[in-house]
Amino acid sequence: YPTTCRGCPLPQGEKVTLQPGDNISCRFTGSPNHVNKKQPPVAKINSTEDVLTLEKCLSAFTKNEILDVDNPWYCPACCGHQVAEKRLRICRWPDTLIVYIKRFLYHSKNAVKVDDEVLFPMESFSPGQLSGTHPHNFKSYDLTACMSHFGGVYSGHYVAHCKHPVTGKWHLFNDENISEQTLSSKDSAGAYVLFYQHKPSHNTELV
């Protein structure tokens, strides 16, 4: 349809709300002498101006949710719908923690890629705030691999950074090419999946 649909004209002065994936075009009807031939580029707008960290993302993901009268909780004890507060806590931590960063948002039939930079710790990641009633029952993790996506919703490229378990050196896996390369700050905007490994104690043997 993009080749045949000319779109819908917008009345002057009318407020329009754009959705992800929408396109807008402008037609200049004035004299060419009054139209700038070169327009400034459209600034890239992130979903937030604050610096995002992995800890902030986890706090937002596990934030308590109020289930009100419009979305009540079904209580198995009284067999009725009740207003409640939903909480998400982790009781037992795994040895390998895999974190997915939400990079793709879907609205109706449209999708958009989120390229916000998310800062994540490389060592000693301790998400103790998710341990519920046992705040000390958590593990400390080191980053061992990071998969990144660069591009848009319908096209792009995946690369992976992996840490050698013996030498401790980082390597970049880019299709069939493998090179020694550590993570950089630019990878924070493309990080998609993070792999954390529990830090073993000094008396634990590596099998």
Residues with active-site annotation: 149, 157
- Per-position DSSP letters for 41-98, written without gaps between them: PPPP--S-SSPEEHHHHHHHHT--EEE-TTSPEEETTTTEEE-EEE----SS--SEEE
**What 3-state class would DSSP assign to 202?**
coil
**What 3-state class would DSSP assign to 179?**
strand
CA distance linking residue 195 with residue 54, whole number of Å: 13
Angle at 145 between CA 207 and CA 120, to 5 degrees: 125
